[in-house]
Structure 1
Amino acid sequence: MVDGLLRGAPDVLLRQLSQVLPDRPFAIELWDGSRLAPTTAVTGDGAPPTFAVRDRAALAHVLRAPGQLGIGRAYVSGMLEVDDLDGVIDVLEHWKPPALDRPTQARLALAAARAMGLVRPPAPPAAELRPRGRRHSAERDARSVRHHYDVSNDFFALFLDASMTYSCAVFPTGEESLEDAQDVKRELICTKLALQPGERVLDVGCGWGSFAVHAAQRHDVDVVGITLSEPQARIARERAAAAGVGERVDIRVMDYRAITDGPFDAIASIGMVEHVGSVQIDDYASRLLRLLRPGGRLLNHGIARLRPDDPEAGPFSERYVFPDAAPLHLSRIQAALERAGFETHHVEDFRHHYDRTLTHWIARLDANLDEAIRLAGPERVRVWRLYLRAARNGFRTGFTSLFQVRASRPDAAERPGTAP
């Protein structure tokens, strides 16, 4: 009886999809080989991508969580495959699906349910994290950051440069290698901070220690680096020791809110502010100010949203990439710095440099897919291949940019009319 009900069900689903998506710059292929051809192309570059539903249980993901999350679950699990991720990013950027009224939605859902048949409801992929607890509490932030970073140090080494720098590089001519461009970025930050021998520097979100080692080696400063990832900290300590600056670089696994041994002469916050969130940004700025001596300098390097009405992040990123990460607008970050008491001296945009950085990372990961799957598993690799491309598209289209802000804690002795 069940076989009778299911016979021809995929064709019914395709007919419904054809009716509700009369203009579609992609193909849809079902598990039985039936196919719905594209009717148009988003751009003139290449063939339209194909969404291949390899398992009817993919429909259960979509029915359970309609929209981006359900489709993301089907993709991450491998039940939904795409033959051209760059083409999919192009579709997502340019194609606007038609609005569907409730009766049409109901007919489409019924056709999908019939095509799916009787299947056990699939669990969300293991790579998904649903953060719990108070948003941006220290405990929840630690879980979220570790979900992203504690994949495997060797996995990140497959696509980052030799220094393991996981932030935007700077390409002065556009011809630099990724290694050289990351070195340029680190030295640029040291220059903006005007580091002097013997000074004490705080590296907020130190990652694998590339900036801390660079600053200690080339500028003869003492650096405290903090991260929430123990695997990162272990590699950072090893790299500092190998570089001969182990006694000058102190790597700690701790939250920025737990630092109590200031003051510092300078603070570098590189790729950290994106994780702070709107509810904590004012506290973040105030804490950094208190950790600086009067006259101390801050370099805040981070991603910011450019358009006022765009959401902070979509559900796919929230569950699979950066849980709770929320790139704020530059104006909001600047407001927090100013309210805390910082004086801003210089702001610089590196949007197109992050586009180029991500292009390097994408090419390196794609060249090492087999090893990436061995180290991180197929789910994580699917997430990362899509995430890196979506991030690059954000910089290309003006959704996000990367800003370096140089600021300082005013020295009361330097203010006109103020007694030393």
Structure 2
Amino acid sequence: MALSIPTALRDELARTLPDRPFAVEFWDGSTLPPTDGASATTFRVKSPQALAHALRAPGQLGLGRAYVSGALDVDDLDATLELLDAWTPPALDVRAKARLAAAAVRSTGLVVPPKPPSAELRPRGRRHSLLRDRAAVRHHYDVSNDYFALFLDESMTYSCAIFSRGAKTLEEAQWTKRELVCTKLNLQAGERVLDVGCGWGAFAVHAAVEHGVHVTGITLSEPQAQRARQRAEDAGVADRVEIKVMDWRELAAEPFDAIASIGMVEHVGSGNIDNYAVRLRELLRPGGRLLNHGIARLRHGDPEAGAFSERFVFPDAAPLHLSRISYALEAANLEVTHAEGFREDYAETLRHWSRRFDDNLEEAVRLGGEERVRVWRLYLRAARRGFESGFLSIFQVVAHKPA
């Protein structure tokens, strides 16, 4: 038999949230209506566990846990994200939290807090240590290559595509991005190129095929490396593409003529960005070229990342400001010669990824499980809104090592 919601809990929620542009529907069918008469969205509390998650970790983390576990659902993810961007919940003092907790316990009978969802990762050890970075990266990437293939283009390029130069399809836009990187690096046949954070080898294979260079790619994900090696072999450039599973701090190689860092700098962190820039300079020949392609925050004063992304999507990832990245490059004695933003291009890329993912939900659940699918449906939409709203952008920064 389903539990019923006591009037006391609804009254307490109404008292705590006097301004509600949304409806709340409980597991017994009872509802708490919006205060303005028009609900932008409906939160469906499908289980007492949702209240327990929200009370245990008030804010984004608790709501995220309730949603990922399936105890909380919404009727329209896009409308809900738009609402949460515009709505400012009231601050809850200790008394208000205690009243809500007491009402929830009386209504649900829950006395033991629920465990966090299995899709959540709380990394251990020193932040951005080699061991912790490996665990964080593999949490995101090692679900399976087939899972990512559900929404990426055929080349498996997992970074911003460029539509603003005339591309119509995702495949065309990703080809445009890869070729633009090669052009900005002025790649010449026979040169040695380092691809930092090579993913599934899309850029490495492109540069080898289209420009005749030799590419060394590094990643922390063994499944990525296996697919990248196979792609190089299929393209007939296995002799010019070498893929290694290692951290950028572990790379010891003769200097490169050019370095491409695509979608990597977000994982470096503010504490390591200066060391990262110095290491890349050390790996360049005199006169060598570097292109850093990465997400950056636009507004100062905003947090590096939200609690949901920190635990469920990209643990320890921290988009820095463009000024901080440029400063690190300059301090490492690299000359920054060009910077270009592609904020709207990434928003469009994420629209394509979201649509493709939603078109393959059944297979996504089979490959990754329901919790991970709920994480990704939310993550792809929230990321898109970050670029649309001006919270995030993405920049390509070109720098040279003095000859």
Question: What's the TM-score, normalizing by structure 1?
Answer: 0.93
Partner letter of residue 65 of structure 2?
R
Greater mean alpha carbon deviation, residues 349-358 or residues 172-181: 172-181
Q: Of 295, 299, 309, which aligns to 1:317?
A: 309
Check 1:383–1:123 CA distance in 2 against 1; reply closer, same or farther (3 A cut): same
Partner letter of residue 230 of structure 2?
E
8 Å CA contact 1:203–1:269 kept in 2: the answer is yes
- Structure 1 segments, 4+ long, off by >6 Å, are none
Q: Distance in 2 between matches of 1:98 and 1:257?
A: 45
Deviations along 1:92-129, one digit per CA (max 9) or x if unpaired, are 11001122333223212211222221454321111111
Q: Of 277, 301, 304, which aligns to 2:269?
A: 277
Q: Of 215, 224, 227, which aligns to 1:235?
A: 227
Indicate whether 1:11 and 2:7 are aligned: yes
Secondary structure, counterpart of 2:351 in structure 1: helix
Post-superposition offset of 1:152: 1.2
Post-superposition offset of 1:81: 1.0
Indicate whether 1:35 and 2:31 are aligned: yes
Provide the residue aligned with 1:20 in structure 2.
16
Post-superposition offset of 1:369: 0.5
Partner letter of residue 14 of structure 1?
R
Partner letter of residue 198 of structure 2?
C
8 Å CA contact 1:57–1:119 kept in 2: the answer is no
Greater mean alpha carbon deviation, residues 348-357 or residues 32-41: 32-41
8 Å CA contact 2:157–2:202 kept in 1: the answer is yes
Alignment of 1:41-190 (within 5 A): 48-118=40-110, 120-173=112-165, 176-190=168-182
Check 1:175–1:409 CA distance in 2 against 1; reply closer, same or farther (3 A cut): closer
Q: Distance in 1 between matches of 2:126 and 2:93?
A: 36
Q: Distance in 1 between matches of 2:265 and 2:108?
A: 43
Question: What's the TM-score, normalizing by structure 2?
Answer: 0.97
Indicate whether 1:392 and 2:388 are aligned: no
Partner letter of residue 325 of structure 2?
I
Provide the residue aligned with 2:279 in structure 1.
287
Deviations along 1:16-71, one digit per CA (max 9) or x if unpaired, are 111222221211111111111223389xxxx6211111111222212222221111
8 Å CA contact 2:52–2:110 kept in 1: the answer is no
Q: Distance in 2 between matches of 1:49 and 1:179?
A: 34
Q: Distance in 2 between matches of 1:86 and 1:35?
A: 22
Structure 1: gaps of 5 or more residues: 412-420
8 Å CA contact 1:60–1:116 kept in 2: the answer is no
Partner letter of residue 74 of structure 2?
V
Q: Distance in 1 between matches of 2:233 and 2:41?
A: 48
8 Å CA contact 1:169–1:354 kept in 2: the answer is yes
Secondary structure, counterpart of 1:293 in structure 2: strand
Provide the residue aligned with 1:416 in structure 2.
none
Secondary structure, counterpart of 2:340 in structure 1: strand
Post-superposition offset of 1:382: 0.3
Q: Distance in 2 between matches of 1:268 and 1:381?
A: 31
Provide the residue aligned with 2:208 in structure 1.
216
8 Å CA contact 1:344–1:408 kept in 2: the answer is yes
Partner letter of residue 9 of structure 2?
L
Q: Distance in 2 between matches of 1:26 and 1:223?
A: 53
8 Å CA contact 2:195–2:216 kept in 1: the answer is yes
Q: Of 359, 373, 376, which aligns to 2:368?
A: 376
Secondary structure, counterpart of 2:320 in structure 1: coil
8 Å CA contact 1:59–1:113 kept in 2: the answer is no
Provide the residue aligned with 2:256 in structure 1.
264
Partner letter of residue 286 of structure 2?
P
Q: Distance in 2 between matches of 1:364 and 1:12?
A: 44
8 Å CA contact 1:144–1:323 kept in 2: the answer is yes
8 Å CA contact 2:189–2:212 kept in 1: the answer is yes
Deviations along 1:256-304, one digit per CA (max 9) or x if unpaired, are 1111112000000000000000010000000000000000000000000
Partner letter of residue 10 of structure 2?
L
Q: Distance in 1 between matches of 2:165 and 2:3?
A: 61
Partner letter of residue 392 of structure 2?
T
Q: Distance in 2 between matches of 1:376 and 1:251?
A: 26
Indicate whether 1:402 and 2:398 are aligned: no
8 Å CA contact 2:167–2:173 kept in 1: the answer is no
Greater mean alpha carbon deviation, residues 128-137 or residues 64-73: 64-73
Greater mean alpha carbon deviation, residues 105-114 or residues 248-257: 105-114
Partner letter of residue 229 of structure 1?
S
8 Å CA contact 1:161–1:179 kept in 2: the answer is yes
Let me know the Cα RMSD of the aligned residues: 1.6
> Identical aligned pairs, as a percentage?
67
